[in-house]
């Protein structure tokens, strides 16, 4: 155990480092899983990232993986790597309660969602399920069922959402990989707030089942500490599943595209998308990140894509999805819902078909505009969020002028509307709290987005910073 790779706790290693250590015999999947379970037991009480822990099942899976490695027959891309699962994904043998009292824990729970099935097929060790706001409806993670999830950098602040439990888990070494979802920023928001790395892939790249009530806004994405790990997990998640009629044809592995040079790449830079108000510290961290890409040889140009804030159209679509998600509930069940979810669902229920189609028309025009934009620019850089993490347990920062989470996420939801790939990587700190850089590519350019994220991380060390509670 003297190798530099395993000198740290196994819980602090990336998936790529774990696989390398398994390959050489310096570390076993059982040792890694025990380290992760110990980390969860020690630190999760401070942040509330997990709503379900399956220590026995994880150890059984780790022992099976260990036997495969000992025979020199690892199964798939992530054999023996601990993985957590956001509690929106169906997971056979465990309840998927989605942060809601309205779902019967008795099940039956016999199906895996596509991403979970692919993780198991590739030997991943599922350690448990992570917290989400009720039905994944907002950009912070608190729910009537599981309470609020805190930020690893300051547990009194939010981890973001809706994949906030996954982000907190990854940041604290409670498993290097986690499965998340993103309907308006839900992997990118918590990644920015917690200093972790993610990508919302092109819509359809990672199959989903069952279909989200939020329709084609909702994507599945990997949550990790590095772009290399995000590429690894995305390649697992992107394998075909016939249960998703909108899934894309298989693409070239993103892992194989990570070494691309940034030299000559045409990169547009938009500090505010033409309308956002950005915290000065966030703006400074973003500007410094842009300088890194220029130093890497990219042709960087500050230019706005040229669209007005599509918040009204997004909220029309999103709130209608919220209405759909609770349409089957009676009055008693509705009374136990998150009040914010109930309010937006009631608003969405009043949306007419004409209004919905009008919002879809805005979405279509935005997609056309961005398609043209990416004929001139390979990538677009923005801040992931205009602010850093605020108090947990509230939808918007105290004193904020807007009522809904959408008012402080102007950089994320537009790219759910266009279905483009968008990554978030850590790029600095303001007052001890992480800042995120968003890297957006044309539809289907997932490999390019991740190669840019990887190149940035090869040139910086923000992704190596660890929360103070890790000691």
- Number of Cβ atoms within 10 Å of the Cβ of 78: 28
Catalytic residue among 28, 143, 162, 163: 162
Short-list 216, 228, 294, CA closest to 259: 228
Helix (H, G, I), strand (E, B) or coil at 11: helix
Give the pair of three-digit tokens for residue 50. 């997990």
Q: Is 270 among the catalytic positions?
A: no
Q: Give the Cα separation of 455 and 411 in Å (integer).
A: 22
Q: Give the Cα separation of 181 and 210 in Å (integer).
A: 13
**CB distance 427 to 384 below 8 Å:** no
Count of alpha carbons within 13 angstroms of residue 404, beta-carbon side: 19
Buried b (16+ CB within 10 A) or exposed e, 108-140: eeebbbbbbbbbbebbbbbbbbbbbbbbbbbbb
Q: Is 186 among the catalytic positions?
A: yes
The beta-strand segments (E) located in 266-421 are: 266-269, 299-302, 379-383
Residue 442: φ, ψ to 5°: -65, 160
Short-list 423, 420, 437, CA closest to 386: 437
Residue 77: φ, ψ to 5°: -85, -25
Catalytic residue among 34, 86, 129, 200: 86
Q: Is 86 among the catalytic positions?
A: yes
Give the pair of three-digit tokens for residue 278. 């950005």
Q: Give the Cα separation of 118 and 129 in Å (integer).
A: 16
Cis before 350? omega within 30: no
**What are the residue ranges of helices labelled H in 173-269?**
188-194, 227-237
The number of helices, as runs of H, and strands, as runs of E, in the chain is 14, 15
**CB distance 441 to 431 below 8 Å:** no
Percent helix, strand, coil in the chain, to 5, is 40, 15, 45
**CB distance 305 to 273 below 8 Å:** yes
- Number of Cβ atoms within 10 Å of the Cβ of 143: 28
Catalytic residue among 65, 100, 159, 186: 186
The answer for residues whose C-beta is within 8 angstroms of residue 196's C-beta and 6 or more apart is: 167, 170, 171, 190, 223, 224, 225, 426, 463
Residues annotated as part of the active site: 86, 162, 186
């Amino acid at each position: 155990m003297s190798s530099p790779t395993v000198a740290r706790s196994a819980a602090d290693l990336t998936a790529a480092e774990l696989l390398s250590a398994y390959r050489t015999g310096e570390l076993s999947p059982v040792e890694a899983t025990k380290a992760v379970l110990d980390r969860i037991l020690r630190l999760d009480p401070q942040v509330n990232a997990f709503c379900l822990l399956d220590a026995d099942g994880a150890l059984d899976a780790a022992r099976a993986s260990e036997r495969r490695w000992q025979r020199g027959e690892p199964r798939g891309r992530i054999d023996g790597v601990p993985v957590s699962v956001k509690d929106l994904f169906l997971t056979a043998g465990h309840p998927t309660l989605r942060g809601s009292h309205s779902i019967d824990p008795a099940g039956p729970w016999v199906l895996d969602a596509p991403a979970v099935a692919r993780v198991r097929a590739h030997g991943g060790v599922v350690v448990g399920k992570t917290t989400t706001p009720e039905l994944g409806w907002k950009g912070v993670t608190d729910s009537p069922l599981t309470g609020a999830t805190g930020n690893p950098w300051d547990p009194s602040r939010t981890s973001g959402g809706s994949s906030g439990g996954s982000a907190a888990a990854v940041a604290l070494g409670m498993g290097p990989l986690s499965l998340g979802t993103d309907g308006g920023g839900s992997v990118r928001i918590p990644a920015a707030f917690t200093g972790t790395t993610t990508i919302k892939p092109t819509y359809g790249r990672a199959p989903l089942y069952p279909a989200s009530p939020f329709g084609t806004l909702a994507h599945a994405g990997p949550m990790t500490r590095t772009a290399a790990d995000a590429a690894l997990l995305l390649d697992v998640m992107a394998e075909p599943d016939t249960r998703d009629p909108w899934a894309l044809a298989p693409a070239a592995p993103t892992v194989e595209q990570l070494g691309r040079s940034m030299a000559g790449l045409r990169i547009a830079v938009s500090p505010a998308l033409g309308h956002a108000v950005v915290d000065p510290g966030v703006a400074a961290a973003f500007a410094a990140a842009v300088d890194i890409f220029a130093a890497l040889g990219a042709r960087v140009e500050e230019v706005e894509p040229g669209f007005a804030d599509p918040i009204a159209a997004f909220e029309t679509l999103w709130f209608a999805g919220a209405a759909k998600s609770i349409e089957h509930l009676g009055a008693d069940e509705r009374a136990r819902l998150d009040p914010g979810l109930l309010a937006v669902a009631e608003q969405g229920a009043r949306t007419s078909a004409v209004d919905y189609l009008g919002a879809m028309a805005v979405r279509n025009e935005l997609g056309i505009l961005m398609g043209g934009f990416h004929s001139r620019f390979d990538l677009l850089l923005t801040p992931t969020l205009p602010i850093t993490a605020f108090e947990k347990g509230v939808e918007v920062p105290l004193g904020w002028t807007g009522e809904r989470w959408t008012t402080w996420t102007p950089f994320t939801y537009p790219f759910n509307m266009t279905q483009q790939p968008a990554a978030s990587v850590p790029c600095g700190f303001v007052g001890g709290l992480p800042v995120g850089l968003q890297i957006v590519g044309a539809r289907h350019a997932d490999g390019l987005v991740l190669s840019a994220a990887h190149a940035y991380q090869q040139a910086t060390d923000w992704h190596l910073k660890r929360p103070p509670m890790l000691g």
